[in-house]
Structure 1
């Protein structure tokens, strides 16, 4: 170890809910550690969400260690400021060794064992390193976006706040996952003309047979299903989340209903050339697939209700309220009055600062329950790290407790 190198048993990279959950368990187990956060503990909720953002899972699923939701609306959906307050309350509940505004710029193997971590200009040595920086570092925007007329305003979903920040005129939203579908509704409620490029994201009903679908799935132990037992195995990590909303108490997001009420629906965006958008001929297929997924979830709930002998109200099958006409006409952006494009096509992780052999040929980290083949090197807070809830408030505590047991060598019970 060099003269100016500091040593500590455990370093956690990332001070969001995952890294803080890890810190909570290590604090409880009295393991010395430090948490490095490039910005602030709440920055992703505060800086990368639109004004009307809210959770799509009910509040009762917010179960950070030692800090479950204790509000008056367990079946409601926290809005942006409530989420920020919830996370800040978690931080205040145990005062973690958190260093905000301290970016980790390099992690390498240490010649004496363990890892050398450069953070905020300082060099540290740690036997254990937990990467809890998330999977959403680099916003995805296609290369051809740079050739679009600069008069058309472009913004990624992480930078969208409200309709007022966009110039007057119609908006093209690209991507129909959770963010895209919710932002379409946000713009539509502000009486903006919206066009949506519909991708392959599935949908789910908010309520079914008298209850929130999440409540049914929880009783069915869906959220305890591990990735090892998922029909898609590791492929579950690549699946887009179902679109639904918790806004105003929660309701379905039905893209067909949007279309019936004036939103322009198009297939997957293939390219924009000379300010003309070209689409894949898959709009009907994508809408049908989304509905089919929703119907399959309902069938699984029906089967559970029948199997358990539960008394629940019946519900008529969904009937599509709108159908595409089969055309696939390119869209002239200027002729359609489009002055803004909102890119809602996701993120890519950025692990270029990690020089440790834990990645596969596609440069994706390889782990089992967050444990890699590199001794003492872990990942936490990623989608389907172990279960559906791994990247969310509902399941990250269980994952953090497991990794704490790997670090301490003893059983660490889940809080």
Structure 2
């Protein structure tokens, strides 16, 4: 590579990832006057456009959709944007920022040289930068367990990231594995479309959609929960491993009650553990999973009750607790696959991180980056767009905005010090040349 090519491909900052976090970072880098490039292996907002099901809606109310220069500007701030509406809003955000982006570029290797410059090897050549912002999120590699290999090939298996609607599946019954946000909502989607659903539950908690006259998200915002930092949380950094509460914004927003689905014909099981001799195997923990989810539901409502009383807020609705509408008669540890009529399995058990391309000593034993509000121990290397990067709100649009505002201060200061160091080195070199 020639010196000319090197200067063309060098930037103050390279941002890896072109989702809302990467584009938001570009907004603030532009304001700071820093040269930068956003590298995106697919297209801007790819995940939103290609890895959501057709009936998808946001589970957070529209008023929380606040990106720099483009807060939610529709006529339903307390509603929930559909997938299509979210994409349209994000496209408008992308156009307003006009980030310097290269799409279709896969980052293959990032490493730091002895002169504190980051080299970025990609599918379209070599780039370099003084600093790197990793904005690719934390959901990279869809998890499908090895036990899936034992299930007959006649059974259609997909990950939640590839689910669109019930019509893409063959006729027959469907097993949904996992009851987090995606699993619960996909199970509901199939159920509402008239498909017979078997659901293998996990330890995901649930939350009410509305309580005592307001969306629970609005109550929690008022109570400061979305501003609580990871350092203030009782679980500390372990909270980053928590599963999100299941609820939906579909049809104006409502609870997701797995027990109610059971009264309507959905069959519930505990945690799926294996497949052997024609049988799907499950832990005998369905009742425990349902009870824990309901306990979380009631505990959150109780905290809202305490807040209302403490603040002297006048509301019309009285406090209430959820009472189970269904109880499992007995735990079932196995299900005959052929007799069940299951022809499809949707794995909704999440993703694992995939940062193998980043050569930096900033990862823990599970492959998750270690950082303090996105700032790593490696100078010039940052993360944004991770769950609980700093607060619970970090996973929401407005939280990404706040995290980017924080990081830009570090990035601008690092670049300033880098520039001063370069000037000093140039002066010393010039002085040496004059003396010689």
TM-score range, shorter chain: over 0.9
| Cα displacement string for residues 100-120 of structure 1 (whole angstroms, at most 9, x for unaligned residues) | 111111100122112111123
Aligned pair partner of 2:377 in 332, 351, 373: 373
In structure 2, C-alpha distance between the alignment counterparts of 1:114 and 1:274, rounded to whole Å: 56
In structure 2, C-alpha distance between the alignment counterparts of 1:360 and 1:208, rounded to whole Å: 39
Give the gaps of 5 or more residues in structure 1. Answer: 411-415
Q: How many residues align?
A: 410
Q: Give matches, 1:234-273, under 5 Å.
A: 234-273=237-276
How many Å apart are 1:2 and its aligned residue?
Answer: 6.4
Aligned to 1:385: 389
Tell whether 2:340 aligns with 1:336. Answer: yes
Aligned pair partner of 1:8 in 6, 11, 23: 11
Q: Is the CA contact (8 Å cut-off) linking 2:375 and 2:407 kept in structure 1? A: yes
Aligned to 1:360: 364
Secondary structure at 2:189 match in 1: helix
Greater per-residue helix proportion: 2
Aligned pair partner of 2:399 in 392, 395, 399: 395
How many Å apart are 1:160 and its aligned residue?
Answer: 0.3
TM-score normalized with structure 1 length: 0.97
Aligned to 1:143: 146
Aligned to 1:346: 350
Deviating runs (4+, > 6 A) in structure 1? none
Secondary structure at 1:146 match in 2: helix
In structure 1, C-alpha distance between the alignment counterparts of 2:95 and 2:132, rounded to whole Å: 24
Aligned to 2:417: none
How many Å apart are 1:356 and its aligned residue?
Answer: 1.2
Q: Is the CA contact (8 Å cut-off) linking 2:181 and 2:244 kept in structure 1? A: yes
How many Å apart are 1:328 and its aligned residue?
Answer: 1.9
How many Å apart are 1:11 and its aligned residue?
Answer: 0.4
Q: Which has the larger radius of gyration?
A: 2
Decide which moves more: 284-293 or 357-366: 357-366
Aligned pair partner of 1:35 in 32, 35, 38: 38
Aligned pair partner of 1:277 in 275, 280, 298: 280
| Cα displacement string for residues 71-94 of structure 1 (whole angstroms, at most 9, x for unaligned residues) | 000011000111111110101112
Instruction: Let me know the Cα RMSD of the aligned residues.
Output: 1.2
Tell whether 2:196 aligns with 1:204. Answer: no
Secondary structure at 2:346 match in 1: strand
Q: Is the CA contact (8 Å cut-off) linking 1:196 and 1:266 kept in structure 2? A: yes
How many Å apart are 1:409 and its aligned residue?
Answer: 2.0
Q: Is the CA contact (8 Å cut-off) linking 2:205 and 2:292 kept in structure 1? A: yes
Give the gaps of 5 or more residues in structure 2. Answer: 415-436
In structure 2, C-alpha distance between the alignment counterparts of 1:68 and 1:324, rounded to whole Å: 45
Secondary structure at 2:281 match in 1: strand
How many Å apart are 1:274 and its aligned residue?
Answer: 3.1
In structure 2, C-alpha distance between the alignment counterparts of 1:274 and 1:342, rounded to whole Å: 21
How many Å apart are 1:247 and its aligned residue?
Answer: 0.1
In structure 1, C-alpha distance between the alignment counterparts of 2:128 and 2:288, rounded to whole Å: 53
Q: Is the CA contact (8 Å cut-off) linking 1:110 and 1:125 kept in structure 2? A: no
Aligned to 1:413: none
How many Å apart are 1:214 and its aligned residue?
Answer: 0.4
| Cα displacement string for residues 373-395 of structure 1 (whole angstroms, at most 9, x for unaligned residues) | 10000000000000112122120
Q: Is the CA contact (8 Å cut-off) linking 2:23 and 2:97 kept in structure 1? A: no
Aligned to 2:108: 105
Q: Give matches, 1:56-95, under 5 Å.
A: 56-95=59-98
Aligned to 2:426: none
